[in-house]
Amino acid sequence: MTSNIFETDLPKTAANHVALSPISFIERAASVYPDYTAVVHGDVRRTWAETFERVKRMANALAKRGIGPGRTVSAMLANTPEMFELHFAVPMTGGVLNTINTRLDADTVGYILNHGEADIFMVDPEFVEIAKGAVARSGRDLLVVDVPDAMYEGDNAPIGATTYDALLREGEAGEAYWKPDDEWAAISLNYTSGTTGDPKGVVYHHRGAYLNALSNAHDWGMQPHPVYLWTLPMFHCNGWCYCWTLAALAGTAVCLRAVREKPILDLMRREKVTHFCGAPIVLNTLATAPDALKKDLPVPIHAMTAAAPPPAAVIKRVEAMGITVTHTYGLTETYGPAVVCAWKAAWNDLSDDERAAKKARQGVRYTVLEDIMVADPDTMEPVPHDGATIGEIFFRGNNVMRGYLKNPAANAAAFRNGWFASGDLAVMHEDNYIEIKDRSKDIIISGGENISSIEIESVLYRNPRISEAAVVARPDERWGETPCAFIVLKPGEVMTQDEVIAYCRQNMAKFKAPKTVIFEDLPKTSTGKVQKYVLRQKARRMNES
């Protein structure tokens, strides 16, 4: 073997090897497009130069407060400019941004603050009640920071020791800030409802954030300077990485507190929105809006949807409005979308139903996802590409998470033979597009939110009148899926459906409570295991009858 001439004297240097990080995107946007609008929120309009100035000040302020590598800033915020800014400011300290689902209950948020070892907790006035409870339960000595918002219409009193603006005044924009030496450094922490009661903390790194942000633009065919409406919560997978994509494209982030038809459609007109994302329920909200609200939209507008296949009727209605729909699929563990139903021009000639059937498929790998496989989970043998044989979806690539924080057991289960096991069941079609046939058996996705059936079951089991409980997904035209509980009461006990639902709403985040309750014996295997697939079939048949 001769020596390799290309491996001699050609080392990495600071000139030719730089750690990938989305911090680079905002630096470029502010340098090249300083006067372009970065953020819009109500009457607030800030350029990329102004936004970067604020981001640098906040990064410096957070660093002075002790945030750096290994430290966590948690945020329970609406889609505001501050939430957007934190996606850059926290990474620019070396710290980790932990955005928390604002629909969770105080117990769960408290668990997250504790498990993620939050040092600072940013709170929107709308969520102060939950936040207060969460801080108490967290057992952590936290700096709570109020983040007031002029667009908030309630009158909740502040709970923090300081405010976002006061913190901003502590920082200097001219000070040096942190950038990674190693692109594998953690950038964010996103908790996902796992199949057990405790949420799991998914760790993203700078490399994956950078690459998935680019792939978002590449695979959606986005051109520079999109005007992006925040119908998708930024707390979901860092707004599926679109916070960073917008910096890479020097686009405009049009903020939005609540997903309601009138503000959405008004903002689309006022800001000439080009792109937005969300679960199919967002599309449905637009499809069913009064015609008067839909006038003069700046079409075409591009929508990306995930969490459930968009129903044919919804696609038809929004496309009639001039909104094109791209269907994507992914998990918190894959930085959000990592699979896209890449559209082919030849399909445009199909009937509405055929087109919807094509579009309902989850599709093919994102450009930066290295590989996707549907395989037998025991043998890891790929299924034939026949559109019929069911297997589990496995991912492999740079937009797969580093892993679950402080959870070796979950990591051991998730990473198998060099693949990430999604838990979702699908077929592989002849044209190499995947189509999900059954979600991970213990997850229900309702309006874009993951709900653990096991978490609901454990609450139900705690009720003294309930003997047995099993929860499965029931298909729903509006929400995608809703939780459906099958219940066996203890002998002599009586409970109504409404009582079961009310009990659940008191003991978990309200959106997780079952929408359907059925009292009947549970089908079981010979070894006594509940046959959930039988219950899922029953839940599906309810909609057909």
**Residues interacting with a copy of itself, by CB under 8 A?**
2-10, 12-18, 20, 24-25, 28, 31-34, 69-70, 96, 117, 184-186, 189, 203, 208, 214, 217-218, 221, 223-224, 248-249, 342, 344, 364-365, 367, 370, 395-398, 400-403, 405-406, 408, 411, 415-416, 418-420, 431-432
Smallest gap from Cβ 214 to a copy of itself, in A, equals 6
Shortest CB 447 distance to a copy of itself, Å: 29
CB of 90 to a copy of itself, least distance (A): 13
Indicate the residue among 182 and 477 with the shorter CB distance to a copy of itself: 182
Cα 456-112-99 angle, rounded to 5 deg? 105
Q: Classify residue 50 as exposed, middle or buried by CB count within 10 Å of its CB (0-12, 13-18, 19+).
A: middle
Q: Which is nearer to a copy of itself, 66 or 322 (CB)?
A: 66
Name which of 370 and 493 has its Cβ closer to a copy of itself: 370
In the complex, least distance from residue 213 CB atom to a copy of itself, rounded to whole angstroms? 10
Given the complex with a copy of itself, which of 81 and 180 has the nearer CB atom?
A: 180
Rounded to the nearest whole angstrom, what is the least distance from the CB of residue 187 to a copy of itself in the complex? 9
C-beta of 406: minimal distance to a copy of itself in Å?
Answer: 6
Q: Is residue 390 a contact partner of residue 438, using CB atoms and an 8 Å limit?
A: yes
Q: Pick the closer one to a copy of itself by CB: 416 or 538.
A: 416
Burial class (CB in 10 A: 0-12, 13-18, 19+), 462: exposed
In the bound state with a copy of itself, the residue whose beta carbon lies nearer, of 190 and 516, is 190
The string of DSSP codes covering 303-363 is EEE-SSPPPHHHHHHHHHTTEEEEEEEEEGGGTEEEEE----GGGGGS-HHHHHHHHTS-B
Q: How far is the CB of 264 from a copy of itself (least distance, A)?
A: 26
| Shortest Å, Cβ 232 to a copy of itself | 22
Rank residues 117 and 481 by Cβ distance to a copy of itself and give the closer one. Answer: 117
Exposure on the CB side of residue 93, measured as CA atoms within 13 A:
28
What's the CA gap between 461 and 483, in Å, rounded? Answer: 16
Of 354 and 520, which CB lies nearer to a copy of itself in the complex structure?
Answer: 354
CB of 132 to a copy of itself, least distance (A): 25
Which three-class secondary structure state does DSSP give residue 173? coil
Using the minimum distance from each CB to a copy of itself, give the nearer residue, 108 or 399. Answer: 399
Please give the C-alpha separations between residue 401 and each of 187, 190, 398, 522, in angstroms, as whole numbers: 11, 10, 8, 37
Beta bridge partners of 200: 192
Taking 3-state DSSP, the helix, strand and coil percentages for the chain, each rounded to the nearest 5, stand at 35, 25, 40
Closer of 108 and 367 to a copy of itself (Cβ): 367
Q: CB nearer to a copy of itself: give 96 or 106.
A: 96
Q: Residue 181 carries which DSSP code? A: S
- CA-only gyration radius of the chain, Å: 24
Distance of CA 265 to the CA centre of its chain: 23
| Ramachandran quadrant class, 189 (left: phi over 0; alpha: psi -120 to 50; beta: rest) | beta
| Closest to 117 in 3D by CA, of 167, 51, 67 | 67
Residue identified by tokens 């057991």 is 409
DSSP 20: -
Burial 169-201 (b: 16+ CB within 10 A, else e): eebeeeeebbbbeebebbbbbbbbbbbebbbbb
d(CA 263, CA 228): 14
Question: For residues 120 and 249, which CB has a smaller minimum distance to a copy of itself in the complex?
Answer: 249
Q: Shortest CA distance to 183 belongs to which of 14, 348, 389, 18? A: 18
State the nearest-atom distance from the C-beta of 25 to a copy of itself, in Å.
7
Strand partners, 45: 40
3-state secondary structure (DSSP) of residue 510: helix
CB of 215 to a copy of itself, least distance (A): 9
Nearest distance, CB of residue 530 and a copy of itself, angstroms: 31
Closest distance of CB 270 from a copy of itself, Å: 19
Q: Based on CB atoms, which residue is closest to a copy of itself, 196 or 398?
A: 398
CB of 326 within 8 A of CB of 343?
Answer: yes
